[in-house]
Amino acid sequence: MTSPIRAHLVCGGRFHDFDYARLEILRALADDERVRTTVSGDYRDLDSLRAADCLITYTCDVRPSVAEQDELANWVSSGGRWFALHGTNAALDLTPQGVSAPRVIPVLADTLGSQFVAHPPIAPYEVQVTRPDHPLVAGLSAFETTDELYLSELHGDIEVLLHAEFSGEAAGFMESSWPDPAERPVMYIHGVGEGEVLYLTLGHCRGHYDMIPVMDYWPTVDRGSWESESFRTLLYRGVRWMTRSEELS
């Protein structure tokens, strides 16, 4: 008889279709009948975090308190595995000069290994496999996706598994100029003490009512990478990594 795996999902924030993302993540978790999941919209449910064997997050501009950041850091460093998706590393302020990325989540950024700064306008781009020998990306080829290409400030040593090349302008953001050609991490592992964070920047999604109060009605329903077979493979492999399943594929 096997024991249940206790997962905790944090899904919420701004400017994304969290109802859609939450459902799709829960589908991925339910693929393993051992997984029992608690769900929160932010990081205040520390009892569920402490009880969890693994953590998965999909947020945007959810800023944990100092105490919550410390709790997350301690949980990972004690051996936890955290699968962080898309905007988990983002703090956003909307200003007349553009979107800024205030450095107000220092412990969270150090734990995650990065903080979001900007992205160019959403458009197709190619994701390259950096470490084809790693089980999380083994067998994957370079693929094209339409998503937010994250331009992030990196914290500590990370093991990059996927990347995209970019130089240019991130229109609409305070830190808009990225002139130097560079490989921008798309998926990486960051070791923290005895634990690890797996970060996947892909996964933007947005429905008609997700830009309130910026606008009352967004004209399209955007699913981006969620419609990509490669992204679905990465999502399911990430869940298996998080739950320490022997087979990732």
pTM of the model: 0.98
pLDDT of res. 108 = 98
Contacts of range 223-232, beta carbons closer than 8 Å, 24 or more positions apart: 223/20, 224/122, 224/145, 224/146, 224/147, 224/148, 225/145, 225/146, 225/147, 226/20, 226/21, 226/24, 228/143, 228/145, 230/127, 230/140, 230/143, 230/145, 231/145, 231/202, 231/203
- Which residue shows structure tokens 């959403």? 122
pLDDT of res. 248 = 79
User: Which CATH number is associated with domain 5-242?
Assistant: 3.40.50.880
Q: Which two tokens stand for residue 205?
A: 């999604």
Which residue type occupies 72? L
pLDDT of res. 2 = 83
Distance (Å, whole) CA 162 – CA 183: 9
pLDDT of res. 206 = 98
Contact indicator for 107, 66 with CB cutoff of 8 Å? yes
Tally of CB atoms within 10 A around 225: 24
pLDDT of res. 249 = 65
pLDDT tens, residue by residue, 40-56:
999 999 999 999 999 99
Indicate the domain borders of the chain.
5-242
Which candidate, 60, 121, 68, places its Cα nearest to that of 92?
60
Residues of the chain whose pLDDT is less than 50? Answer: none
Distance (Å, whole) CA 175 – CA 101: 8
Ramachandran region, residue 17 (left: φ > 0; alpha: ψ -120 to 50; beta: rest): beta
